[in-house]
Amino acid sequence: SQQGEEDPQALSIQEGENATMNCSYKTSINNLQWYRQNSGRGLVHLILIRSNEREKHSGRLRVTLDTSKKSSSLLITASRAADTASYFCANAGGTSYGKLTFGQGTILTVHP
């Protein structure tokens, strides 16, 4: 399978806590993108990290990339109830023309 895996599949935390989601992939990549999806709705782009980058920040989001381990992590700090959603990583493979291969997603629930 070309699909990656995400870990954990589900995460339940309290507001104010940090949430960490991990993603693994199988092929070489040009970049890796993280998306959020509220139940049955559209995919909202969060952050893109390129294959030559190791860490990137955007607001309360921190993404790391380890190409030697073919893995990435998304950290959401000081979580809010509004962060409740599914989070997907998606990689743009090195040999493809930009198509994204998605991981299985992490369902995050933040309790107020």
Partner 1 sequence: AAGVIQSPRHLIKEKRETATLKCYPIPRHDTVYWYQQGPGQDPQFLISFYEKMQSDKGSIPDRFSAQQFSDYHSELNMSSLELGDSALYFCASSLDPGVETQYFGPGTRLLVL
* 6-35 footprint of partner 1 as x/- string (CB under 8 A): ------------------------xx-x-x
Which residue is listed with tokens 């990435």? 72
Query: Around Cβ 83, how many Cβ atoms within 10 Å?
Result: 18
Within positions 62 to 91, which residues make up the interface with partner 1, using CB under 8 A? 88, 90
Residue selected from 18, 27, 38, 41 as contacting partner 1 according to rule CB under 8 A: 41
Q: Which stretch binds partner 1 (CB under 8 A): 11-19, 65-73, 75-83, 94-102?
A: 94-102
3-class state of residue 11 by DSSP? strand
Choose among 84, 93, 88: nearest CA to 72: 88
CA 26 to chain centre: 15
Binding site for partner 1 (CB under 8 A): 3, 30-31, 33, 35, 40-45, 48, 88, 90, 92, 96-105
